[in-house]
Chains A and B, each alone.
Chain A
Amino acid sequence: MIEINIKKRVRIYNGTNLIQVKASFHHRHITQIIGPSGSGKTTLLKIIAGLIKPEEGKITVNENVWLDTKANRNLEPQKRSIGFVFQDYALFPNMTVIEHLQYGSNDAQYIDRLIAIGRLDAFRTHKPKHLSGGQQQRLAILRALSTKPSLLLMDEPFSALDNVLKKDVMTDLKTLFDELKITCLVVTHHPLETEGFAEYSFLV
């Protein structure tokens, strides 16, 4: 179980906005986090990843305390065993598809499997600027999985995929999540986008 209780004040154009979240997410399941634009979904994911520090709060993942502001504990992102799919993909312009995955893993067989899941076999040596939006988004998902994380955080991960491809990728991802015992939190502003993928929902 992932227990989250955080408060974070974020700057907006006309002042500040308080993001306050108290939630429990199921271990080894996929939970979608829904909410309108600007409600703090991305900020919440980044707080869980350790990329943003809240003013107050506690995050516990399977009895391990990742964040406890009262105890002045904040585990570095590098030590959280997470994967993060960024909304803007955040791909490395200097690396090819295969190099992105090799940056996270030395397991050639696993990398081949990821490439098959993302349908990127023909683009192994392509750099991000030579990939389409959908291919870039799939690469961002595969890269986040390359380290075999225990918690995968996905920020609008299927927005650039067509419906047929999205369903196929989702099916393969769910199989992989089951095998690797991955817990997944997926942020979306549109619940239909993750239909058939998420098992639980949480509203921000």
Chain B
Amino acid sequence: MDLTPIFLSLKLACVTTLILFVIGLPIAYWLSGRSSIPKLIIEAIITMPLVLPPSVLGFYLLLAFSPKNALGEWLQEHFNIHLVFSFEGLILASVIYSLPFMVSPVKSAFIHLPTSIREASYTMGKSKFETLWHVLLPNIKSSLLTAAVLTFAHTLGEFGVVLMIGGNIPGATKVASIAIYDSVESMDYANANYYSLILFSITFVIVLTVFILNRKSAKSPLE
């Protein structure tokens, strides 16, 4: 059995989670502040992948990044970047697709912290960044873990977006979910079963770990 699709899926999930951790935290922190119309619009856009069929998102990303269209052509000409049918394209699509899984739990956690603890930090002369780093983030650790795991697991199970933007190129874009579909298409049920079992086991272990780690610090392990 070729394990490349499994490693490719794990690599994609790791890179996506890492990128989303870096860009998702500031976005969640910003969104948790005073509400405004621009914020609501941006939050609606970020949340769209939760309800939008993955194939719709994949289709528009495919059009946007195609070298036949303006953005894709510009990226190719100026930076020599080919996002369609490449691993880099998969990462970008996954980051967009999994963004709400990182942002929503973290934003919710920031909102549920009592305002007085950040005020207490400010009255001690601490800046917003110091307060975020020393007070706010340590007190939402369980939500950060949940968000990271949800993002990782969600990326691991992506299919529609991945198929649209990446296709099925062995060693490059053929991730585990595509390999399962490919095996079933070619009636190779044994192979499909191997990939499925591995994905099932990895996901189960990850979710169980979150439940164990969060069992004391949150009301619900997926909080």
Chain A interface residues (CB < 8 Å from chain B): 46, 49, 51, 76-84, 86, 88, 90-94, 103-104, 143-144, 146-147
Residues of B within 8 A of A (CB): 114, 116-117, 119-127, 134-135, 138-139
A92 to B124 CA separation, bound complex (whole angstroms):
13
User: What is the CA–CA distance of A104 and B131 in the complex, to the nearest angstrom?
Assistant: 12
- Given known A-B contacts A94-B135, A94-B138, A78 and B117 have beta carbons under 8 A apart: no
Task: Given A88-B116, A92-B117, A103-B134, verify A78-B122 contact (CB < 8 Å).
Answer: yes
* Of B119, B127, B135, the contact of A86 (CB 8 Å cutoff): B119
Known contacts A92-B135, A92-B139, A94-B138, A147 near B124 by CB under 8 Å: yes
Which of A76, A81, A90, A94 has a CB less than 8 Å from the CB of B120? A90
Chain B residues contacting A146 (CB-CB under 8 Å) are: 124
Between-chain CB contacts (< 8 Å), 8 pairs: A51-B119, A79-B125, A81-B125, A84-B120, A90-B120, A91-B117, A103-B126, A147-B124
In chain A, what residue has the closest Cβ to B114? A90
A143 touches B124 (CB 8 A): yes
CB pair A78 B125 closer than 8 Å: yes
| B113 vs chain A, min Cβ distance (A) | 9
Contacts of B116 in A (CB 8 A): 86, 88, 90
Residue pair B119, A84 in contact (C-beta under 8 Å): yes
Nearest-neighbour CB distance to chain A for B117, whole angstroms, equals 5
Residue of B nearest to A146 (CB): B124
Q: How far is the CA of A82 from the CA of B146 in the complex (A)?
A: 37
Docked-complex contact B139 and A93, CB < 8 angstroms: yes
Q: Report the nearest A residue to B137, measured CB to CB.
A: A94
Bound state CA distance, A104 and B32, in angstroms? 26
Minimum Cβ distance to chain A for residue B139 (Å): 5
A residues near B123, Cβ cutoff 8 Å: 49, 51, 77-78, 80, 82-84, 144
Give the docked Cα–Cα distance between A86 and B114 (Å).
12
4 more A-B residue pairs beyond the given contacts A77-B123, A86-B119, A143-B120, with a C-beta to C-beta distance below 8 A: A49-B119, A91-B120, A92-B117, A92-B139
A79–B120 Cα gap in the complex (Å)?
14
In the complex the two chains form, what is the Cα distance from A103 to B123 in whole Å? Answer: 12
Pick from B114, B122, B125, B139: contact of A94, CB under 8 Å: B139
A61 shortest CB reach to chain B, Å: 14
In the bound assembly, the distance between CA atoms of A92 and B139 in angstroms comes to 8
Give the residues in chain B near A76, CB-CB below 8 Å.
122
In angstroms, Cα B120 to Cα A90, docked, is 7
Q: Are A104 and B119 closer than 8 Å at their CB atoms?
A: no
A204, B125: Cα distance in complex, Å: 28
Task: Kindly list the 4 A-B residue pairs having the minimum CB-CB distance in the complex, ordered from nearest.
Answer: A90-B116, A94-B138, A84-B123, A90-B120
A86 lies within 8 A of B138 (CB):
no
| In the complex, residue of chain B having the shortest beta-carbon distance to the beta carbon of A93 | B139
Q: In the complex, how many angstroms separate the beta carbon of A184 from the nearest chain B beta carbon?
A: 14
Chain A nearest CB, measured from B94 CB (Å): 31
